[in-house]
Structure 1
Amino acid sequence: MLEKKGNSNTQERIELIEEFIELFCEYKIDYLSADREFLGHDWLKYLLSQPMMSFRIRIRETELLGDGKHQLSTRIVFSHLQIGQRSLLRKKRVLWGYPVYIGALRLQDNSLLTVVAPSYCHTIIDDYAQRWGIETLFGIFKSRGFNLEDTHLVDSERLSRLFALLTIALCWAYRTGQWLSQAKPISIKSHGRKAKSIFRDGFDHLRSIFRDFDEHKTDFFQSLQFLSCT
C-alpha cells in the first residue's frame, strides 16, 4: 500500500513489477493491463525493455502516432470506425518515440478505446476488456457493496486482514447470487442489460437475512453451504 493519496508514479510501478517478478518468477505473466492514467514516456520505455513483459494499455484519443512520415492523433487515425467497429493496425506506429502496435474500438458513447501492445495480437481489445472485471471488483469493495473506504483504515496489516474477510464475503455473495439466478433468472431491462448483477442479487439476499435473522434462519443455513468447498 502506498503511503499517499492519488495514483502511483512510474518509479513506484517499476518497483512493484520487479517485486512481483522476484516473488513469482516461476509464473508466466500473460500481459499487464492498465488504464490511461497509468502510462507515460518512462513507463512505456521500461515495459518495452522487459522481453517477458507484454502489456495492453489504453491511451488517450489525443496521443500522436507516427508512421515514419506523418504524426496523427489516434482520434484521426481511427475516425472511420463506427460504433461497435474495431481495427488493429498491422504495422507498428511510433508513440513517444517507441514503436508499438495499436488497436481501437468505437464504444457505444462514440468515444474511442485505443490500446497499445508491444507485439501484434488480434485479441488486443478483448484482452484489455478483461480489466472490466477488476474495475467491477473495485466498485464492489469501494462503493457498490462493502464501502471499504468508509473504514478509513491505513494500517497495512489491518487492511490485509480486512481484504481477506471481504474476499470471503464477495465469494459468498456471488455464489449465493448464482444459486438465486438458477431458481429465478435476473430480469433484463429495456436497454438489454440485467437489472442487477449476480453479486448484487446475492449480496441483497444475504443482507436481508441478517436484517431479520430470526425470520430467515433457514435461508441463512442454506446460504452458509456456499462457503463450503465440498
Structure 2
Amino acid sequence: MRLPRHHLLTFACGRQQAIADLGLSRGQTRRFAHCQVDGVWGQVWVKALAGNDFLFLFGNVGLAYMDQLYAKRWTIEQCFQNLKGRGFNLEATHLRCRHKLRKLVALVSLAYACCLSVGTLADQKLRPIARKNHGYRATSLSRHGLNVLRQLTRPSTCPDHPLARLVERLLDWLARQLLNLHLTKIVG
C-alpha cells in the first residue's frame, strides 16, 4: 500500500526515522526489510520524486519486486477509474438487473479496450501524446483513443485520413474475431 510521507519508520533496534530524513536524491530508492510503520511490521520501499515528494510503499510482499507489483496494481486502478468516469461513466447507470449489468460491463469493457488500442496505435504511429514536466503523459492512452474516435465520427472527417483507415482496420479485425467466436453454452 502507498502511505503518506509523514509516517515514521521504526527499525528493529527501536530507532525511528522520517522518510524525509533518509537523504535521498531524486530518482534514488531505498529498501528496508524489517520495519514497523504504525505498529505493523513489514517491508518498506521508498523512492524520491520531484519537488521533495516520495513514493512510500509498505507491505508484506517480497521486497525485490514491491515496486513492480505496485506498478501493475496502478495500471488496474487506472482502468477502473476510466470505466467509472472519464468518458465511460459506468457508475452513472441506474440498472438493477444483474444480467443487464453484466452485458453493460462487457460492452463498456470492449469499448475501453477499443479506445486503448486506438490510443496506443495513434500514440506510436500518428500523433504522440505530449509529456508533462514530470515525464508522464498529458492524457491517458484510453482517453487519447476516445478523443481520436470522437474526432473520426465527426461529419467533417475525411475517410482517407490515416487515423480513419487505422480505426477501420481495427474494427474490421474486431468484427472478424467476433464472427469466428464460437460460444460454448454450459447446461446446468
Question: By the TM > 0.5 criterion, same fold?
Answer: yes
Name the CA shift for 1:120/1:74 in 2 (closer, same or farther; >3 Å).
farther
Gaps of 5+ in 2: 181-188
Report the AA paired with residue 2 of structure 2: R
* Pair 190,169 (structure 1): closer, same or farther in 2 beyond 3 Å: closer
Q: What residue identity is the alignment partner of 1:60?
A: P
Q: Which runs of 5+ in 1 are unaligned?
A: 1-56
Asked if structure 2 preserves the Cα contact closer than 8 Å seen for 1:61 and 1:73, the reply is no
Number of aligned residues? 172
CA distance in 2, matches of 1:128, 1:214: 41
- In the alignment, is the contact (CA less than 8 A) between 1:177 and 1:201 conserved in 2? yes
Q: Distance in 2 between matches of 1:73 and 1:114?
A: 13
Percent identical residues: 26
Residues 93, 157 of structure 1: alpha-carbon distance in 2 compared, 3 angstrom cutoff = same
Pair 1:60 & 2:60 matched: no
Counterpart of 1:225, as a letter, is D
In 2, the alpha carbon distance for the partners of 1:147 and 1:183 equals 29
Counterpart AA for 2:169: Q
Map of 1:88-167 to 2, 5 A cutoff?
A: 88-89=31-32, 91-118=33-60, 120-153=62-95, 156-167=98-109
Question: What amino acid is aligned across from residue 82 of structure 2 in structure 1?
Answer: I
Mapped contact 1:178–1:198 kept (Cα < 8 A) = yes
* Partner secondary structure for residue 94 of structure 1: strand
Tell me if the contact between 1:177 and 1:203 (Cα under 8 Å) persists in the aligned partners.
Answer: yes
3-state secondary structure, aligned to 2:64: coil
Instruction: Return the TM-score normalized by structure 1.
Output: 0.59
**Residue-by-residue CA offset, 1:182-203 (whole Å, 9 max, x unaligned):** 4414153463544543322321
CA distance in 2, matches of 1:68, 1:125: 23
> TM-score normalized by structure 2?
0.70
Amino acid at match of 1:144: R
Is structure 2 residue 19 aligned with structure 1 residue 75? yes
Contact persistence 1:175–1:226 (CA under 8 A) = no
Kept after mapping to 1: 8 A contact 2:151/2:157: no
Q: What pairs up with 1:1-230 in 2 under 5 angstroms?
A: 57-70=1-14, 72=16, 74-75=18-19, 79-89=22-32, 91-118=33-60, 120-153=62-95, 156-189=98-131, 191=133, 192-212=135-155, 219=165, 221-227=168-174, 228-229=176-177
CA RMSD between the two structures: 3.3
Aligned equivalents of 1:214, 1:94: Cα separation in 2: 59
- How far residue 215 of structure 1 moved from its aligned partner, in angstroms, is 6.7
| SS in structure 1 at match of 2:30 | strand
Whole-angstrom distance in 1 between the partners of 2:112 and 2:11: 47
Partner of 1:4: none
For 1:157 and 1:221, the matched residues in 2 are separated by 31
